[in-house]
Amino acid sequence: MALTYKSRRRWSLIILLIGLPLYIVAAVTVVGWFDRPGVLLELAVYVGLGILWALPFRAVFRGVGRPDPEAESETKKAE
């Protein structure tokens, strides 16, 4: 089932405002369980985790910053 533009915008907002902070807290907690690695290794872990969290939500975020394509087609039909 494909999400509409409006629902993708809503889900992306929920993911960014609720999911991302929870993921950050979880990532910092998990990394904190181990002895502190070197700065470059720790940076690499955080960058990797930063990319990893967004991969499952790629379809939700795709095209959200663009104007609503459904609104354009509706305005063209009305003319």
Instruction: State the Cα–Cα distance between residues 2 and 19, nearest whole angstrom.
Output: 21
Q: Where are the beta strands (DSSP E) in 1-79?
A: none
Classify residue 39: in a domain, yes or no: yes
Q: Yes or no: say if 32 and 49 are a contact pair by the CB < 8 Å rule.
A: no
Does a structural domain hold residue 77?
A: no
Mean of pLDDT over the chain: 84
In a domain, 34, yes or no: yes
In a domain? residue 74:
no
Q: How many structural domains is the chain composed of? A: 1
The pTM assigned to this predicted structure is 0.70
Does a structural domain hold residue 71?
no
The string of pLDDT tens digits covering residues 43-63 is 888 899 889 888 888 888 888
Q: Which of 5-14, 18-27, 58-67 has the lowest mean pLDDT?
A: 58-67
Separation between Cα atoms, residue 77 and residue 79, nearest integer Å:
5
